[in-house]
Structure 1
Amino acid sequence: MTKKISVVVVDDSALVRSLLTEIINRQHDMVCVGAAADPLIAREMIRELNPDVITLDVEMPRMDGLEFLSRLMRLRPMPVVMVSTLTEQGADITLRALEMGAVDYVAKPRIGVSNGLQELAGDIVDKIRVASCAQVRRLAPAPAAAAAGSPATPSQPARAPLPRLSTEKIICIGSSTGGTEAIREVLTPMPADAPAIVITQHMPPGFTTSFAARLNTLCRIQVSEAQQGQRILPGHAYIAPGGHHLRIDRSGSNYVAVIEDTEPVNRHRPSVEVLFKSAAHVLGPNAIGIMLTGMGGDGAQAMREMKDAGSYNYVQDEASCVVFGMPRMAIQAGAAHEILPLTQIANAVLNRLASSPAGVRHRI
């Protein structure tokens, strides 16, 4: 008999603990082995029960969720799914939690919690399943400056301007679970004159604004949520708004962003498939594709279409992925030119751009 995924729920709301316990116990492949009202109780439960996954609220008595997560990921790393309210502050806190090593998050409704969580039940248990097989890493101690509250700055040395790049080149990135930190790893080395970057990260409404703003403070390029009809320009990165598809189109001699509220594709909105298909059709050999960590296969076939249209594609390797789903499917689809550790992808892209004559269209 297959072992069930064991889960400990940590939330100060008795209602939320009861609802999550019931949702988890309805599944044939998981069981809630404990529910704690605060992190100190949870700490003892984790020691005693050794769960596969914990769900963790943010605002709790005696110790907030972020402090508990920080200690947990330094001393006893394990898969964590955050439960965060869908607010601007909640989004910022959730992004900090993902930086600390949380695998994923659930956007807990502010009102109508009972009905809201039941509607999210499928999403919740899917994220628990993904978390149970995710690769988690020990959180390194914070540097003294960071601990003192100093603003983060890019750690990479300044890079010389890229030689006469074609302004037509556009880098297209797709990611899901684990993608927020993977995207940061790719974007922070990019120089101010990097080609335009368009990104689809699976995120709900309300989170991508904070995600873009956070990246904008860390990067030399300008990072923002994509807007309808916006010109796609070098030195900028554009993130698909949560709950909307992003695709690329042409308007005269310019590339522009198109934002659509159409049906989900591969169960996702935004979908990597939509972005990558538009890149294949509109950009052709002027595209560079990057597939990062994520569950499922969204974007894999479209990335192969990009390759067939002449793009050059990079795929994150298994060892550096939180979840090796989307990259695996892209590799199986024959979409990858290079399979690299996350830390090598940005430099590989920049070195390729620097060695390519301006305006040359690569077809491989």
Structure 2
Amino acid sequence: MKTAGVIVEYNPFHNGHLYHLKQTRKVTNADCIVAVMSGYFLQRGEPALVSKWARTKMALLAGVDLVIELPYAFSTQKAEIFANGSISILEGLGVDEVCFGSESGSLDPFIHTVQVMKDYETEFNSYLHIYLKEGNSFPTSASKAFQALSLKDDGVDLSQPNNILGFHYIKAIVDQQAKIIPKTIIRTGANYHDEHFQSPTIASATSIRKALFSSNKSIDDVRSFVPDTTFKELNQYMTDFRQLHHWEAYFQLLKYKVLTSSPEELKAIYEVEEGLEHRFISQIKDATSFNEFMIKVKTKRYTWTRLQRVCTHILTNTTKVSMKRVTSNNATYIRLLGMSQTGRAYLQQNKKEFTLPLISKLKQNSNEMLQLDIKASHTYGMIFDEPVRSDWHQLEYSTPPIQFDEKEKIFV
């Protein structure tokens, strides 16, 4: 059974993701599609719009065969660590190919850029240090450093978000000596960061989320940009929990955490660097919303995304020490969230060959990486009212992998 992997957030699953899935199956001729999907908190430092269980259902209904959780230790990180964790999980599952969307649409520029970085690592790091010292963000500095090498202009444009991820996927494959074969397809329609609808049917997840939280819009306003199955799941989530997740809902929790922590305690949190602890304490006192707070603390050096990740780590009390321990290696387990009949058949046929343990139901576990996922789950559910909040805290232990019958189109 041939397998192809995709690395996703599905926040939420939309028509562009559906196109990516169909193209992945086409270019890889895969029998089984495996999605490594971020859990409750995402790479841009945001809470996921709906739970990982709801997004697992969206994925299975759209044609994914296996949904595997990308642990918090990787899902809330810069591109390099995010990619390392994702590729290590796909490799542990024995997946044949990985297919990612990119602004480039061609694999050669990625391979060339990875080789250049390897051959000129010292020079690249020297330029990178210069641009960082000038106050540029890491993504901007990395792009400028590559351009400063003044080599042949056939590398990939590292100023584009999906190209950055694609570069790190291929670099992770090389560094891990993985057997996975990379493939890429060009992104269609909306750009990753588009905040407004540019097409009648294709929109970025960013613009969809913005519309959902706009005061004069509703779920109905995004219906044309998502599959019917996603639309139904969004409505069901609203019925069950009466809200979608975004940073404003967590702001009072963040404010409480910052104002009841000492500078030394905040400094111990992962990614709190260069006096950010003092800036956070001084600026959050008078801020009345998360957006207002972010505007107050934003600087040229720290991107909005980086600051949101800092806020996420403060909220989940993730320290430098604990994160260093869990990210010194690649993934240490495979957490199964959902499967189709095809996905189940793949597991049964190949699980003895997996190089990482497969977790299908959570038990008390001392694995530190898994403990971060559990803390993230508890934090994510803190915005609910009782008794929903207390029930939520048991979900990690009581929810088995979601099973989907792709022929009957039903969950079993």
Q: Which has the higher strand share?
A: 1
TM > 0.5 fold call: no
Under a length normalisation based on structure 2, what TM-score does the superposition of the two structures give? Answer: 0.24
